[in-house]
Structure 1
Amino acid sequence: MRKLLERIVRFRTWILNLVLTLAIVAPDLLNSPEMLALVPAQYQRWVIAAAFLVNIWMRPRPAVIASDPEAAIRQETYR
């Protein structure tokens, strides 16, 4: 269970990006524009823009967690 949680923490960017990509692309792939009806038409552009902003803000590599050697080195550097 700990390994699963560690993987989720490390790859949260990838997980979120996949979910957002599926949410944006899925209606076209499934030929069901009703999925886009979940978000009002005037807000659809904002939701897509927010998804891409979150994508930019997320880290492009696996996150460092407290048990990594890199984290210990960084803590020693700031002391």
Structure 2
Amino acid sequence: FKGDIPVILNLQRSDNELSKRLIDFSSGLTYALEGGIERVADKVFLLTPRNVEVSAEEKQRLIEKGFFNQF
């Protein structure tokens, strides 16, 4: 994230309490570094550094190809 690389935060296998803490931390991180955070699927979030945009088409492609469910 700090190196201008978007980060996907997949919390699908996390319990609710841990998920809340990680979202709080991630929100603070993106706010402090002037980035953005958005939900792209159930319990999956995209953190983008400032000056970095991920197109709607790219987000949809990642969701459709199952990127968020790979471990």
Same fold, TM exceeding 0.5?
no
Structure whose residues are more often strand by fraction: 2
Q: TM-score, normalised by structure 2?
A: 0.36
Higher helix fraction: Structure 1 or Structure 2? 1
Select the structure of larger CA radius of gyration: 1
